[in-house]
Amino acid sequence: MLTESPGRRKIREEVELSPQVTNAEGKIVPLSDRPNILITSALPYVNNAPHLGNIIGSTLSADVFARYSRTGPVVAQVLYICGTDEYGTTTETKALEEGMTPSDLCDKYHQIHKDSYQWFDIGFDHFGRTTTPKQTEICQEIFTALYDNGHLTEHEIEQVYCEKDARFLADRFVEGTCPKCGSAVGTPFYSSDL
């Protein structure tokens, strides 16, 4: 759990922001006597420091809604969560650019993101990471439940592979022209069609 910033504490004192009810472990718990609201923001990638688009386009609006929900007219029990998305090609590519492992890159940029959001006084109740053991466990439970209930189907797709680098390439890193008209790529299709 993030520590409450002095600015948020001042707002809580001045606006009488309703304190969140927590259990013995300090975790916010649902209540039966008021609305319970879960608020999430889009998870920023760890391939760079956060920018105003991250703040304005996602976290700030959710933070404003969380604060409003905690102050009334109907005071709610709110859990506002976010975290860094540490999987994907952007992470691998940035790690290669910076000459470090993806894990080290994730550690570095997670802290930069966390510090930046605290500087802007964004009041997450929890700012996590997609690479934690708990996150992995939850995702595997969801996947298994979907699979066991027949909600997943298997498909084969072609992917571009770079022999020199011994890795698959994300579509965004494959350049070419449209196989249909010869123009620069302008419609979505698989990169293996280029």
CATH number of the domain that residue 13 is part of: 3.40.50.620
Q: What is d(CA 99, CA 107) in angstroms, rounded to the nearest whole number?
A: 14
Crossing angle of helices 89-98 and 102-119, rounded to 10°: 100
Domain tally, the chain: 1
What are the start-end ranges of the H helices in the chain?
Answer: 6-15, 52-54, 60-71, 89-98, 102-119, 133-148
What values do phi and psi take at 82, rounded to 5? -160, -175
pLDDT digit string (tens) for 97-156? Answer: 999 999 999 999 999 999 999 999 999 999 999 999 999 999 999 999 999 999 999 999
Domain span at residue 86? 3-135+157-184
- Long-range contacts at 170-177 (CB < 8 A, ≥ 24 apart): 170/88, 170/89, 172/89, 173/89, 173/93
Query: Is it the case that residue 189 has pLDDT exceeding 70?
Result: no
pLDDT > 70: percent of the chain: 85
Q: Is residue 18 part of a domain?
A: yes
Per the domain annotation, does 74 fall within a domain?
Answer: yes
Question: Is residue 167 domain-resident?
Answer: yes
- Residue 147 CB-half CA count within 13 A: 7
Spatial distance between the Cα atoms of 172 and 160, rounded to a whole number of angstroms: 11
Domain assignment present for 55? yes
Backbone angles phi, psi at 178, to 5 degrees: -65, 125
pLDDT of residue 18: 62
Q: Confidence class of residue 15 from pLDDT cuts 50, 70 and 90?
A: low
Mean pLDDT for the chain overall: 86
For the cut 70, the answer to whether the pLDDT of residue 59 exceeds it is: yes
> What pLDDT does 68 receive?
94
Residue 164 lies in a domain: yes
> How confident is residue 192, by pLDDT bands cut at 50, 70 and 90?
low
Residue 1: pLDDT band by 50, 70, 90 thresholds? very low
Under 8 Å between Cβ of 74 and 33: no
Instruction: Tell me whether residue 123 is in a domain.
Output: yes
